[in-house]
Structure 1
Amino acid sequence: MNAAPESSGSTESAAVTQADVDAVERQLGRVPRGVVEVSHRCPCGEPDVLRTLPRLPDGTPFPTSFYATCPRLTGAISTLESQGVMRDMTERLAEDAELAQHYAAAHDDYLARRGELGQVDEIDGISAGGMPDRVKCLHVLVAHSLSVGPGVNPLGDEALEMLPDWWATSPCSELPEDGAQ
């Protein structure tokens, strides 16, 4: 697999433009909810990860602070999940104390970054993706790594390195209107 695109590593909010909202709506097939910022952009320039509020506008608690939106990215991650990568990573967590320690630190980082956006009692202490004890969703781990940069989430970084260049075929902006890849 090829090198992952560079992460912004920034948690400073940048204005979300109407073009960003339109692009994500095209990607998801619905209007995105609770968007704080585009926390990562695909090399083609389109949003591929959003940072979202911990409580959606309708009042629903939403623990997924970093939300992968690009269908090409999420499809590539789903392929990894179907290959048993999550199971293998979870087994390694149980056997490798150093890896478990770094993954627990990623959990703490995730909680701290979500806490910057507000406290939600219903999800207090709960991050996402199975952290800190297991791997339940690679989408969350990859989105976290893309958003905050390498070295924070070891399993997100690892999964990201396994991904093909999802943007290489054509720009994500050329996704068909029906969202098909």
Structure 2
Amino acid sequence: MSRPPFAPFSEGDVALVSAQLGRPARDVVGIPARCVCGAPTVVATRPRLSNGTPFPTLYYLSHPAATAAVSRLEADGRMAEFTAMLADDSELAGQYRAAHDAYLADRGQLLEVPEIDNYSAGGMPTRVKCLHALVGHSLAVGAGVNPIGDRALAECGWTPEVCACTPDLRGS
């Protein structure tokens, strides 16, 4: 389970994340999840960017194949279905609230930012707004912490255990 402090990362990792995102990666503090080939899959970002902007999304899904797979789930309407599941299943809702609390604790280990206090990512703790953030959380911390992220990862048809990287975005 990767949580702050993260293992060291390289400038090469930041360059790969930038290429994956199609823009410069900002304020990277770690690479908490990787493809089997070593390429970054999830990037961790400072809770306050260097320009002073609060940034609540600690775990950000960066891998293009993962992002595409999760986007298909979103396009298929799974966010609304997962939100309905939370309303109907109090045990699942409790697990999801615990995932929210774990996310806040992880981010708080890096930096407390009052403007985003009690705001995590992906719609937690009561709805599902962004499966990319939830899958990123699951990949970063491991299975069993974020039940919706875990379900979305299981359903999306992508896994970090099988490299789907393009040659220019492979790790070393």
The alignment's TM-score, normalised by the length of structure 2, stands at 0.92
SS at match of 1:172: coil
Task: Summarize the alignment of residues 40-79 of structure 1 with structure 2, pairs less than 5 Å apart.
Answer: 40-79=33-72
Q: Which residue is equivalent to 1:32? A: 25
Q: Which residue is equivalent to 1:125? A: 118
Gaps of 5+ in 1: 1-8, 177-181
Q: Count residues with an aligned counterpart.
A: 168
Shift of 1:172: 1.7
Q: Which residue is equivalent to 2:149? A: 156
Shift of 1:118: 0.5
Shift of 1:171: 4.7
CA contact (8 A) 1:76 1:163 kept: yes
Distance 1:13 1:168 in 2: 20
Shift of 1:29: 1.5
- 1:94 aligned residue (87, 98, 113): 87
SS at match of 1:54: coil
CA contact (8 A) 2:153 2:159 kept: no
Q: Which residue is equivalent to 2:138? A: 145
Shift of 1:164: 1.5
In structure 2, relative to structure 1, the CA distance for the partners of 1:134 and 1:64 (3 Å cut) is same
CA contact (8 A) 2:35 2:163 kept: no
Distance 1:168 1:38 in 2: 16
Gaps of 5+ in 2: none
SS at match of 1:64: coil
CA contact (8 A) 1:103 1:155 kept: yes
Distance 1:120 1:104 in 2: 20
Q: AA paired with 2:43?
A: L
The alignment's TM-score, normalised by the length of structure 1, stands at 0.88
CA contact (8 A) 1:44 1:171 kept: no
Shift of 1:35: 0.6
Distance 1:66 1:134 in 2: 18
Misfit runs of 4+, over 4 Å? 166-171
Query: What is the RMSD computed on CA atoms of the aligned residues?
Result: 1.6
Distance 1:43 1:35 in 2: 21
Shift of 1:25: 1.3
